[in-house]
Chain A
């Protein structure tokens, strides 16, 4: 009993110490300019089985922009850090296939972190990962209707590693693999929070698959109480 208390105290103390030297990096990514109109996914609507899941005409979700210009699905990460992955012990990231669409379509994981791919559809899909970086393995796995979850992992950092379903050629997800835990994907308002960044100066980059595939960068100094960094991404 006593031993456990001491242990808990020690853990708590370590956590406090860490917080003392690390802060959260928060901010908003804003889109400037008018993005092209989303395309109607007519093959999905026309599909005998999948079409039934969509009352309205489904559209691509390449630019998810809030009323105030906040840009969702942007991966914000620290640059110039490598070999700091805690992916092996991190909780799995879930990629679902629902109504013959990947949900979400943009995710980010650490190297070695488990990606759990679910099939919530009464339809068969094939989960086809198509990496471009050597060392990440291409796999094409069948997943039967409401079939067992699949798990995938990638060893090398890669931006927007493509997942597709060849049975339904409109189904895509893009998984960004990062070599450390300091990244986040913006929410529907374009906001992001990168937790527990050790104090220091960093180059931070915001990558959007369509608007900024190579990233928009800025220098940020993270202090013990964190930092704030807003990004503007432009479409021409």
Chain B
């Protein structure tokens, strides 16, 4: 991202700016946001296991599932999530190919070929590996195709090809984690159900993946290229840059806390807000927790709550206060052209806090809880991009 690379490459063998590449990156971001939305709905509705097999669906090839089955209850959300993920996977491979240009072709051919071979090898290992085998050879086919497509295009400016490769690997890991979350659901390792553990990682990594794609979209934008070449002429007041970084890290932590609560499928550990079990500070003694469970009347007959889960929700509430204050500080201390984006960020966080409260008041209605996930993702992305921008331009200012 520094200037040397920029000038050395001015020789012209990479794309300075391509509006279509940027639009394609935005399309991939939009598709991924949608994928997080439908994935969030799967968890909110607790239908992650409504299709017991993977990558097949009820024994059918995933693209051949009868429509009537697809439209049955939670199968709709889970199967749509799988189909949508396939589209995102293809988009990311194409994006990677575009960012990497002709230099990526050989690697894609090798990786695609290797994945197909590894996939067939897994198929030969026996029925336990069938799912992973089909998955791997399917992806390998797409990757191979991306390598075969003969477009003698230039790569994008650094570090975009590298970011593309990260997205390329991450989307495959995400697909595999999503599948293992189903296949290994019932397995217990160190007291934790693998379905829960993989689901949690899958959820958090999905947000990191969205963030990565947003960074690619930012770096391919005309705006960024222009700022870049003018070496930060519009140098903003950046005394807040550390605040931006701190706050963004806090938001990611908050997201992990939230995902942990969601994937325990225990409903609301604290059913009221702003109080907690009718008090400012709830009683978490075993007797008190037993009495909460006795009164609890979950529609879905959820798992009983534990003291740890009450503590988790309290931590989530406390961190929300920290984040809200920190974003306010960021917005307060930001001058120049970043002022308005920082205020939009503050607005997002306020909406997010409102959605958090509403999640509780609605007794964790699936659509409200999922909106909370999506606005959380947008808050994270906004914070991260602002952080990158402040660091980029403060760096330029020092030169």
Contact = CB atoms under 8 A, between A and B. Distances in A.
B294 A167 contact: no
Interface stretch (B66-74, B209-217, B235-243, B322-330): B66-74
A169 B186 contact: no
B58 A142 contact: yes
5 contacts: A126-B50, A128-B49, A142-B53, A167-B72, A168-B73
Nearest to B186: A138
B152 to A, nearest CB: 49
A168 B297 contact: no
B287 to A, nearest CB: 12
A168 B294 CA distance: 24
Contacts of A201: none
B297 A166 contact: no
Given A39-B299, A140-B185, A169-B45, A210 B72 contact: no
A60 B50 CA distance: 21
B399 interface: no
Nearest to A59: B299
Given A126-B49, A140-B52, A235-B294, A167 B299 contact: no
A108 to B, nearest CB: 17
A60 B297 contact: yes
A166 B72 contact: no
B52 A169 contact: no
Interface size range of chain B in the complex: 20 to 34
A137 to B, nearest CB: 8
A41 interface: yes
A86 to B, nearest CB: 29
Contacts of B72: 49, 123-124, 167
Contacts of A169: 45-47, 50, 73-74, 300
Nearest to B366: A43
A80 interface: no
Contacts, number: 78
A140 B53 CA distance: 9
A36 B75 CA distance: 32
A55 B52 CA distance: 30
Contacts of A39: 297, 299
Contacts of A137: 186
Nearest to A124: B72
B302 to A, nearest CB: 10
Interface string B20-54: 00000000000000000000000001111110110
B280 interface: no
Interface in A177-236: 210-211, 213, 235-236
A210 B294 contact: yes
Contacts of A211: 294
Interface of B: 45-50, 52-53, 58-59, 69, 71-75, 185-186, 291, 293-295, 297, 299-301
Interface class of chain A by DSSP? loop
Contact of B74 (A48, A167, A213): A167
A60 B300 CA distance: 9
Nearest to A209: B301
Contacts of A156: none
A213 B73 CA distance: 30
Given A138-B185, A142-B59, 19 more contacts: A41-B299, A47-B73, A49-B72, A60-B301, A124-B58, A124-B75, A128-B49, A140-B52, A141-B52, A142-B58, A166-B49, A166-B52, A169-B46, A169-B47, A169-B73, A169-B74, A169-B300, A172-B300, A213-B293
A137 B295 CA distance: 30
A19 interface: no
A43 B293 CA distance: 23
Nearest to A126: B52
Contacts of B185: 138, 140
Contact of B301 (A47, A138, A162): A162
A64 interface: no
A43 B174 CA distance: 30
B66 to A, nearest CB: 10
A235 B297 CA distance: 13
A150 interface: no
B294 A166 contact: no
